[in-house]
Chains A and B, each alone.
Chain A
Amino acid sequence: MDVNKNSYTFGFAAIMVIIVAALLSSAAIGLKPFQDRNIELEKKQNILSSVGIVTDRDGAEELYLTYIKQELVLNNKGEEVEGSTFDIDLAKEVKKEADAQVLPLFISEVDGKTMYIIPLRGKGLWGPIWGFISLEDDLNTVFGAVFDHKAETPGLGAEINRPMFQDPFAGKSIFNGEEFKSIKVIKGGAGEDNMHGVDGISGGTITSDGVTDMLLERLTMYLPYFNKIKPTIEVDSIFSAMDSVVTVNDSIIN
């Protein structure tokens, strides 16, 4: 047969494309449940690691149930709304108008300490970056942060998922007094005493800036909620402080 005839060429191309398409789509459909499971477990693993609990993927499910006490869905006015927190797709939410977005918030309790975990999503150099940042119950001090990325340059921007980059976030503050500062990733390095900045990555400036923008944009969305619950937290801590004062007094009297 003449393989160079036009009709043969068209026929060959058509058949080849159909075979390849069938092969790939059946592979994609067949493997999807396994892939979704991996993604779900990884998300749980990341949420846990932002509050300092390190686990492998298989253990994530159980520990997640132990430590994550509350899952909230908020709007940008700080009100709680209906919805499944875990299933919120931030990639879709960040594209909407601020008013239309729903904001997921996870509240965890580790060793008696309440921590607020905020999911993040933003843009790196080559693709999306995302992560989780956890705040202590003063809603100011960062307890931990994890980041990940789809396609940042290995060795440069991709280093945002390393402890070297993530660890310095712990202990930083997102507020300076009453003023919201967020946390900035600073090219050339943040000073030791900079409470609102961490060191950037050499050669990964655009990814680093992406992290800065992501933190600012996402945390800003939660400010109304923070303002709303902050008074109750302070009252709570005053009460517990008073309790201890009372106990001290009691013991003196006794």
Chain B
Amino acid sequence: MSKDSLFSKKNMKLLSDPLDDNNPITVQVLGICSALAITVQLKPAVVMALSVLVVLSVANVVVSLMRHMIPSRIRIIVFLVVIAALVILVDQVLKAFVYDVSKELSVFVGLIITNCIICGRLEAFAMANPPGKAFLDGLGNSFGYGIILIVVAFFRELLGSGTLYGYPVLEKLGLYDLGYENNGMMILPPMALVTVGVLIWWQRSRNEKLIENK
């Protein structure tokens, strides 16, 4: 086994790849469900991105540590137990010490458990790689996921509600006085799908590696 450092070029690719070339949402099309559900406003999107960051990195490390012990026939069940335990633990700690954050997050607890990205990374990466690499992979993928979430939420909140992170941007700019109106369509789920679609389109037109052979 090669003894390259944790921050070697190859390992750094684990961090940077999911941001663009191998983005979990726009390229692998995983985790779409949560991307649609919680991108109405920026704040929940940011909270969700952070929680997935914690859960995915820790779950990746835990599963990677156990990778030689897990019987392959029940591995998916093991993943689910690890993820669910982590999520509940995080939720309980938040409820006790940062109650406000936990109220914001409680809606998404269930969604984190069912987030396909987490199961996908555990199965595809953590089961075959040492903990250090698995941790970087977890970080990279949750960044890739978080970026898309935040970009989608940015447009949906700005165009749908005229606010950003709850701050009434458009009202302060005086756009309403000029006859501008919020687009109510943006806060409904279909527009999340369209926004993600536009992102995928833009990404593919820009990144040549993603253009498929005819």
A binds B: yes
Which residues of A line the B interface, CB within 8 A?
A: 3-4, 8-9, 12-13, 16-17, 20, 23-24, 27-28, 31, 34-35, 38, 42, 57, 150-156, 158, 202-203
Chain A contact residues, majority secondary structure = helix
Q: What residues of B have a CB within 8 angstroms of the CB of A154 in the complex?
A: 38, 40-41, 44, 107
Chain A to chain B contacts (Cβ below 8 Å), 23 pairs: A3-B68, A8-B71, A9-B73, A12-B70, A12-B78, A13-B74, A13-B78, A16-B78, A17-B81, A24-B88, A24-B89, A35-B96, A35-B99, A38-B99, A42-B99, A153-B40, A154-B38, A155-B44, A155-B160, A155-B187, A156-B40, A156-B187, A202-B184
Q: Report whether A155 and B161 are in contact in the complex, using a CB–CB cutoff of 8 Å.
A: yes
Closest to A28 in B: B92
Q: How far, in angstroms, from A24 to B88 measured CA to CA in the complex?
A: 8
**Counting CB contacts under 8 A, is B95 at the interface?**
yes
Q: What residues of B have a CB within 8 angstroms of the CB of A42 in the complex?
A: 99
Q: How far, in angstroms, from A38 to B95 measured CA to CA in the complex?
A: 8
- With an 8 Å Cβ cutoff, the count of chain B residues facing the other chain is 32
- Which 5 A-B pairs have CB atoms at the shortest separation, nearest pair first? A155-B40, A34-B96, A31-B96, A38-B99, A9-B71
Q: How far, in angstroms, from A150 to B37 measured CA to CA in the complex?
A: 16
Selected from A4, A38, A202, the residue in CB contact (under 8 A) with B72 is A4
Q: Report whether B95 and A35 are in contact in the complex, using a CB–CB cutoff of 8 Å.
A: yes
B43 to chain A, nearest CB (A): 8
Q: How far, in angstroms, from A23 to B38 measured CA to CA in the complex?
A: 30
Interface members, chain B 82-103 (any A CB < 8 Å) = 85, 88-89, 92-93, 95-97, 99
Q: What residues of B have a CB within 8 angstroms of the CB of A17 in the complex?
A: 81
